[in-house]
Chains A and B, each alone.
Chain A
Amino acid sequence: MNAFRITWLFFKVGVLNELQYRVNFVVQLFQSAIALVVGLLVLALVYSHTDELNGWSQPELLCVLGIQILMGGAIKTYIQPNMMRLIEDVRDGKLDYALTKPEDSQVLVSVREVRIWQVVDLVSGATVLAVGLSRVTTDLGALDALAFGVALLFGAVMIYCFWLLIATGAFWVVNMYHAVELFDGIFQTGRWPVGIYPGWLRYSVTFLVPIAFAVTVPAQAVTSRLQWQTLALAVVFATVLFVFARWFWRFGLRRYSGASA
């Protein structure tokens, strides 16, 4: 319970901090708008040459795009800023400040930062998803909606675990500067249902970098093509990944000896 209290506290402070920089909201709005327009243009271009892509219609892919933007927003609001700060702190030796606090270190390093203006992507992603859903011919049942919620939540947990593993890598490889660019590049694979990728890439973006779980699986849920086995696998894999990430974090911590102190 303490973890939630701390998360809430950091969240409040973070929001107050960010609210000072209001022009950033306009900047973010502009950038999100550009990204959205490009995404929609690409979809229009693809579907001007074909009616369906690997069994997915245009409205269905609109749902995929919406979920990818939504998930991307969540990652950039919370997960990525915290993990980048962790990587920087390891390099600068400032991680000591977090470690000396009488709280769970993993919780602390995961909740210190919040980029509130990225919420724009949450909104625009949800809007695209809603528009996509309104055009999909199949009906969205209550069970589908529930499965979607579960898949989205566990997908986010998996992305968090993946990022924590990468950031913990900073204990060994100090220069993780390009981690963000690498991840952003690979995250773009989520724009399309993983089924179109060749086997090696499909497995990579499912189990190595869990983008398929974070985007395609929720998209399968809202388009009524999700099998319960897939959802069960997502829950199991998320749990395993979480336990492993926590172990790896502690393992890495033991190696950390501070850089400045």
Chain B
Amino acid sequence: MTTLTETVPRREVGSARAWADFYLSTMRLAVQEQFQYRTANYFYMFGMIAEPVIYLVVWTTIADQQGGSVQGLSAGYFAAYYIVWTLVRNMNIVFGAPFWEYRIREGELNKDLLRPILPLHYDIAYFAGWKVVVIVLWIPLAIGLSLVFDPLLDPRLLEIAVFAVAIWGAYLIRTMFQEALGMLCFWTTRGAAIFDLWMTTELLLSGRLVPLPLMPDWVQDVSRFLPFQWAFFFPIESLVGDLSDEELLRGLGVQLLWILIGLAIFRVAWKHAIRRYSAVGG
């Protein structure tokens, strides 16, 4: 009888090299696959820029009406904010909670469970590879938007460095919470309502709708203690705003904290969920 431990030598499973190899291979696969669908990817990204462009135009109009700024935020700031927004929004697209419903309903999970590693690893690796394609496709889009909207962007070297890390931090925070939320699909087939509610909270408290300083004070206070803004507002602000060195590094620390919290929630939920699971389809 062939068991998994025989086909895959024990020392390889769990060794750092094996993990790196798995992640890199999956990412490479994702890059190759998604580059084939570059037109579809572009359509998708193009449809997505309508949202920030609308916000940008509305707030620029208000800034212009009030002599150039709203609460100290200038038209140039709004332009920079919403252009960087497009990249951060794309980094925020992960294996979303609703996909867990599909994964369970279609019996896809059965196949995933046969593998010697958690599906979570595959999701992280695959979407991370996809992100590489997205970033490449994003560059011309950003140049085009910059020509049209005249952003005010003058980052320091540290800000660029922190931004480069923070967009991946954002990706991981959102991945962890979406995967954890997806565990609800093991208990209910009507998770959609909860996911919608979650998305709406996220829209309002993350900085996706407006830069957070425009929100009422109490909303800012509440959102400080939630993960949302660390996956959206912080990465944008690290590049566009004027955060001090200390704030920048502390922000990365908070991101790490939320990644770990999200992961912990996922691990607990997964442990209970998988006990409940009794395959569908096949």
CB–CB B47/A186 < 8 A: yes
Which residues in chain B, 36-89, are within 8 Å of chain A measured between CB atoms?
40, 43-44, 46-51, 53-54, 57-58, 61-62, 65-66, 70-71
Does A16 interact with chain B (Cβ within 8 Å)? no
A37 proximity list for chain B (CB < 8 A)? 200
Query: How far is B65's CA from A260's CA once the two chains are assembled, in angstroms?
Result: 59
Q: How far is the CA of A204 from the CA of B150 in the complex (A)?
A: 20
Q: How far is the CB of A44 from chain B (nearest CB, A)?
A: 10
Q: Does A206 contact B (CB under 8 A)?
A: no
Number of interface residues of B (CB under 8 A): 33
Q: From the candidates B43, B47, B58, B197, name the one contacting A184 in the complex (CB within 8 A).
A: B47
Sample of 14 further A-B pairs with CB below 8 A, known A191-B54, A201-B57: A30-B196, A45-B215, A46-B62, A49-B70, A49-B214, A50-B62, A50-B66, A53-B58, A175-B40, A178-B44, A182-B43, A185-B47, A185-B48, A186-B47
Q: Which of A143-184 contact B (CB under 8 A)?
A: 175, 177-178, 181-184
Q: With A46-B58, A188-B51 in contact, do A178 and B200 touch (Cβ < 8 Å)? A: no
Of chain A, the residue at the smallest CB distance from B55 is: A42
Residues of A within 8 A of B216 (CB): 48
Q: Which residues of A contact B (CB under 8 A)?
A: 27, 30-31, 34, 37-38, 41-42, 45-46, 48-50, 52-54, 175, 177-178, 181-186, 188-189, 191-192, 196-198, 200-201
Residues of B at the A interface (CB closer than 8 Å) are 40, 43-44, 46-51, 53-54, 57-58, 61-62, 65-66, 70-71, 148, 190, 192-193, 196-197, 200, 203-204, 209-210, 214-216
Determine the distance from Cα of A185 to Cα of B54 in the docked complex, in whole angstroms: 10
State A188–B47 Cα separation when bound (angstroms).
11
Q: Which residue of A lies closest to B215 (CB)?
A: A45
A218-B219 Cα distance, complex, nearest whole Å: 35
Q: Which of B54, B190, B204, B210 has the most CB of A within 10 A?
A: B54
